[in-house]
Structure formats: structure tokens, C-alpha cells
Amino acid sequence: MAEAGVEILCVGTELLLGDILNGNARWIAEQLACLGLPHYRQTVVGDNKDRLVAAVREASQRCRVLVTTGGLGPTPDDLTTEALAAAFETPLEERPELWLEIQRKLSAGGRAVALSNRSQAYFPRGAEILPNPKGSAPGMIWSPRPDFTILTFPGVPSEMQAMWTETAVPWLQANAGTSGVFVSRQLRFSGIGESDLAERVADLLTSTNPTVAPYASLGDVKLRLTACAPTADAAAQMLVPLEAELRRRTGDHCYGVDEDSLASVVIDLLRHRHQTMAVAESCTGGGLAAALTAVPGSSSVFQGGVVAYSNDVKQGLLGVSPDLLVTHGAVSEPVVEAMARGVRERLECDWAIAVSGIAGPGGGSVEKPVGLVHLALAGPHGCETWVQHFGERRGRAAIQRLSVIRGLDRLRLRLLAQV
């Protein structure tokens, strides 16, 4: 057992085909890092018993703990428990109390319970049940031999995460040889590229405890801060001066932490100032409104929006002058300014963001290519406009997403600058 760490085995043909994004592996990997557990390998296997048996046997020669997700349901392709038992030539035994619990859960609301669900109550002899508080399929914690333990979880993320937090974490902390307590905090940045951010904090990226690691996604850069100490409080305290220094170096580019989004930060800033906002959207097709309404409680500041793709809607609902549309075209500074002013006035709010652009893949020209986006921000002190050139190579979805990010970030900065 050379590596002696933790491995992740994800089960499901749909993962191999790309029908489902393997977010469970990423989430579990992050949790293992927070627990200080070494994690060296991930494997994806389809719904095939023989290949599952082979994968489990191979993993048992390398690692101390194997975490599996998927394949725990009642259908014929849910083979994980059966394959694990076969890999170690252990009989499956029914747990009658589990079958009663499964029936109780599934019969809520008067539904009939299919007999096929009974398979979820069978486990290898000697396995400890890992309860599922959010679903019908329990998992297990099973040590088929003294130096190797398997933890199984369903593939449904909400069920897996609840089981992990409530049962798996305490077990891993007590039995898997965690090296101290790891605490992480993620700083989120906008308006700065990954390379520029890395240059500003280059000397801190070499720190070993706490560590700083950059991550980038479309329009968003993150720094993950992680510290290890004997207790969670001690680890958290180690992050305080590091976060303060990172914020000092990056200023207003740092917009939030952990699960913050630009939309949630903007909502909080508006709520604190007792102000409201609205949106007028063309090329984003409701993306701004969707981002804002995804935030719980956004109705206290978000008045609403207008998705104005046609010129008739721009004129009729937003009051955009026909002359502006004829002279400058829908994708232009004068029109997007009129959209912002119009929606702000009609919805009687303090702020309004408007966007009009060419998201593609068609519709561009030499003068107005795909990726050209005009934005406007109307507020208590007037209206400002700006233009973004995202380029057509990014594709339609990315252009729309980046337009939403740029609009929200401009409003965030103006709110921070407000006296």
C-alpha cells in the first residue's frame, strides 16, 4: 500500500458519457483537503459490475480509504453495493429496520412503494450504515479488511453532502489519520486577471502554512487561503492577517468571500443604503435579473426588469426614441443610455443597469462585431455608459455571462464610492 491515502470512485455511465458534470468528485476533494487527508487518485467507472469489482480491488491495494458516489438506488444499474460485496466475497444481508425506514420515507404523501426499493436495504455482512437524512438510499462504512475502509454515498449531491457532513466527517476525523484541522477561506475578485492578481501577491503564493492558491473561472478570480492547526479556531486565526494583507494589496477588486457573488454583494450594498434597482436587458436575455433574483431576499431592493430584444419593446416599454434607434442602432451608447434612464424612471428606483450587444454567433458587422456590448448605469447623479469588446471567439454564453458580470461590478464600485 504505497500511497495510503484516500481515493474517490464515482460510479455511473452518465458520467463517462458527459451527460452529467462530475461535481461530486470536486466537492469531495475539497472536503478531503479541509480535513488534511491526502488524496491521490479519482476514478470513474460505468454501470458495469465486473469493472466495478476490478476498480475496487485495485484501489484496495493502494489506499486506506475509498469514497464512492453513485449506484445506490433501486434500479438495475445501481450496482455499487453488490459489486463491493463481490469484490471481497462477502454475502449481502437484508437490514429489516432499513427496509421499514425506506418504506416510511417513500410512502409519505400516500405513494405506493415499489418492491424494487427493497434492494437498498441490503448490505455486506459487517457494514455500518451511513444514514441518508435527505433520501431513501443509505450508504455504508465498511472495512472488508483491517487496513481498508469503504464509504459509499448516493450520487445526488444534496444527499451526499448531508451524509458527508453529519456522519462521514466525524468518522474520518476519528479514524482516517487527519493531520490537524484545516480551515479554508476563499477571496473572490473581479476586474482583474489571474496573472495580474498573481503578480500582486507573488511572494504570498510561496507560503506553506497558511497557503494561498489562485483559481480562475469566466470573469471571476479566486484566492483560496488554507491554514492547518490543532484546532479550527487556531487555524482560522492564522488566516486573519493573511486576508488583511491580500485585501490591502488588491483594494476594491476583492468583492467577497466564500459563497458571495457579485449579485449578492450588490444586493447587500443596496439594502444597507435603502436603495433599489432595476435592469433593462437586450443581449443578456434576462441574465442580470436571473443573477439578482437568485439571491434570497433580493425582492427588498430589486424592483424588476425589462427584456427588450425588439425595437418596439425598447420604444414602448422603455421610452427609447425611434430617432435614436434609426440613427445609432440598437447596439449603441445613446440607446443603452436611454434604456437605463427609461427603466429607472418607469420602475421608480435609484439605480438601473442596461445592456445591449451582439452576443452572436451571427448578427455582427465590421462596425459592430460579435462580442461588442454597450452598458449603461443610471443612478441618482446621472448616467454613465461604457463599451466592452469581448470578441466573438468566446461564444454567445460567455459574452452574455461577462456582460452580466461587468454590469454588476460597475454598480458595486459606484455604491462603494457613494458618500
Question: pLDDT tens for residues 2-22?
Answer: 457 899 999 999 999 999 999
Contact between residue 295 and residue 265 where contact means Cβ atoms under 8 Å apart: no
Last residue of a domain, one of 194, 227, 257: 257
| DSSP H or E stretch at residue 302 | strand 302-307
Over range 249-274, report the average pLDDT.
Answer: 97
Instruction: Using a cut of 0.85, tell me whether the model's pTM lies above it.
Output: no
Q: How far apart are CA 199 and CA 57, in angstroms?
A: 45
**Mean pLDDT, rounded, for 311-323:** 97
Domain coverage including residue 124: 6-175
Question: Do 396 and 268 share a domain, yes or no?
Answer: yes
| Count of beta carbons in the 10 Å neighbourhood of residue 413 | 15
Only one residue has cell 466564500, namely: 258
Average pLDDT (355-359) is 97
3-state secondary structure of 328: helix
Q: Express as a percent the part of the chain with pLDDT over 70.
A: 99
Q: What CATH number should be reported for the domain holding residue 359?
A: 3.90.950.20
Identify the pLDDT of residue 181.
77
The cell numbers describing 88, all together, are 471481497
User: Which neighbouring-strand residues pair with 295?
Assistant: none
**Is 185 within a domain?**
yes
Confidence of residue 67 (pLDDT cuts 50, 70, 90): very high
- Whether residue 262 contacts residue 196, with contact meaning beta carbons closer than 8 Å, is answered with no
- H/E stretch holding 351: strand 351-357
Do residues 376 and 385 make contact, with C-beta atoms less than 8 angstroms apart?
yes
pLDDT of residue 2: 45
Say if residue 128 is exposed, middle or buried (CB neighbours under 10 Å; 0-12, 13-18, 19+). middle
Residues 206, 158: one domain?
A: no
Longest dimension (CA), the chain: 80
Give the per-residue pLDDT at 3: 58
* pLDDT of 259 higher than 80: yes
Q: What is the pLDDT of residue 33?
A: 80
**Directed axis angle between helix 49-60 and helix 80-87, to 10°?**
50
H or E stretch at 84: helix 80-87
Looking at the structure of the chain, the number of domains it has is: 3
**Cβ-contact 339, 353 below 8 angstroms:** no
Residue 29 lies in a domain: yes
> Of 230, 257, 284, which residue constitutes the final position of a domain?
257
Other beta carbons within 10 angstroms of residue 218's beta carbon come to 10
Q: List the CATH number of the domain containing 82.
A: 3.40.980.10
Q: Look at residues 319, 324, 328, 323 and name the one whose alpha carbon lies nearest to residue 352.
A: 319
Same domain, yes or no, for 277 and 407? yes
In one-letter notation, the amino acid at residue 9 is: L
pLDDT of the residue at 71? 94
Please give the grid coordinates belonging to residue 126: 459487517
Mean of the pLDDT values across residues 272-281? 98
E strands present in 181-281: 181-189, 211-217, 220-229, 254-257, 277-281
Average pLDDT over residues 121-131: 96
Specify whether 322 is located in the same domain as 193.
Answer: no
What is the C-alpha to C-alpha distance for residues 34 and 134, in angstroms, rounded to an integer?
Answer: 24
87 and 199 fall within a common domain: no
pLDDT at 281: 98
The answer to whether residue 1 sits within a structural domain is: no
Pairing of strands 181-189, 211-217: unpaired
* Residue reference for cell 496573472: 195
Task: Say whether pLDDT at 1 is over 70.
Answer: no
Which cell goes with 229?
492547526
In the numeric block, which cell numbers belong to residue 1?
500500500
